[in-house]
Structure formats: C-alpha cells, structure tokens
Amino acid sequence: MKLKHRADLPTTSSNEKRSVKIDGQPTSVSLEDAFWHALKEIAAKQNIAVQDLVLKIDKGRTHGNLSSAVRVYVLCYYYDRHDHKT
C-alpha cells in the first residue's frame, strides 16, 4: 500500500498485535493499521523484510518498548523525508 495522501490511510485505528521474529525468536508489536502499513512501505523501499526492519529498530532503541520504538521510527522516517523536500 503506497501512502500518497492522508486519505489513503486506513480508516480504522485499531491497535493490533502483529507477530514478527527477531533473531529467530517470535515476538509481537502492537501497532495501529496506519503504522503497520507505513512500516511495510518503508521496508519495501529499503528492499528488506518487515521483520528485518523491526530487528534494525530493536537494535537501535535505547529505551521504551518495541512497539513505541517502531512508531517513533516511522514518524522520524516520514518527518526526515518531508524535511528534505522543503
């Protein structure tokens, strides 16, 4: 799903647990649909699997839970992208 405009965002804001494996260990992240779709889009742009991106985020976090770290990563990714266009 390519997010081009806010109207393209999923209309639900349900917070769902998504299963991923980190270094072969099953874990889950609780993310709203918009964050999950954005995470998948970022992974696709980086040509990596979602679980590899989650591993990268996990290794880079210094505090907080993994779900929060994923949200912050997604927010920073799009913020930085927008900042470079202006």
The model carries a pTM of 0.79
Domain presence at residue 59: yes
Domain limits at 63? Answer: 21-85
In a domain, 7, yes or no: no
Overall domain count for the chain:
1
pLDDT of residue 62: 87
**Is residue 50 in some structural domain?**
yes
Q: From CA 35, how far away is CA 74, in angstroms rounded? A: 7
> What pLDDT, in 10s, does the model give residues 13-60?
678 999 999 888 999 999 999 999 999 999 999 999 999 999 999 999
